[in-house]
Amino acid sequence: QAFRKFLPMFDRVLVERLAAETVSKGGIMLPEKSQGKVLQATVVAVGPGSVNKSGQLQPVGVKVGEKVLLPEYGGTKVTLDDKDYFLFRDGDILGKYVD
């Protein structure tokens, strides 16, 4: 896939948002507009991390494949082969879902 060929810089993380539920819990088809922005996503690529003031490399806190919770705002859209991904700073990711 496209993101195979994209390496985020420093402490940036490339994620793919999960598909928005198009059917509400009660089974009613949700019109596109009312589907809230999906805040759950999968990590598809990570940068090497950032270098702190003492020159040490601080690796990123998430791994490829992990499910994460995104903040409501921020992030940069990156289109690779017509598919939308999003770049977030490692420090802005709120948490991850562990099984």
Site map (CB under 8 A) of a copy of itself, residues 79-98, x = contact:
--------x---x-xxxxxx
Q: Write phi, then psi, for 89 (nearest 5 degrees).
A: -75, 140
CB of residue 60 to a copy of itself, shortest distance in Å? 10
Question: Taking CB under 8 A as the rule, does residue 7 contact a copy of itself?
Answer: yes
Question: Taking CB under 8 A as the rule, does residue 37 contact a copy of itself?
Answer: no
Contacting residue, 6, 16, 17, 42, with a copy of itself by CB under 8 A: 6
CA-based radius of gyration for the chain: 15
Give the separation between CA 85 and CA 78, rounded to whole angstroms. 5
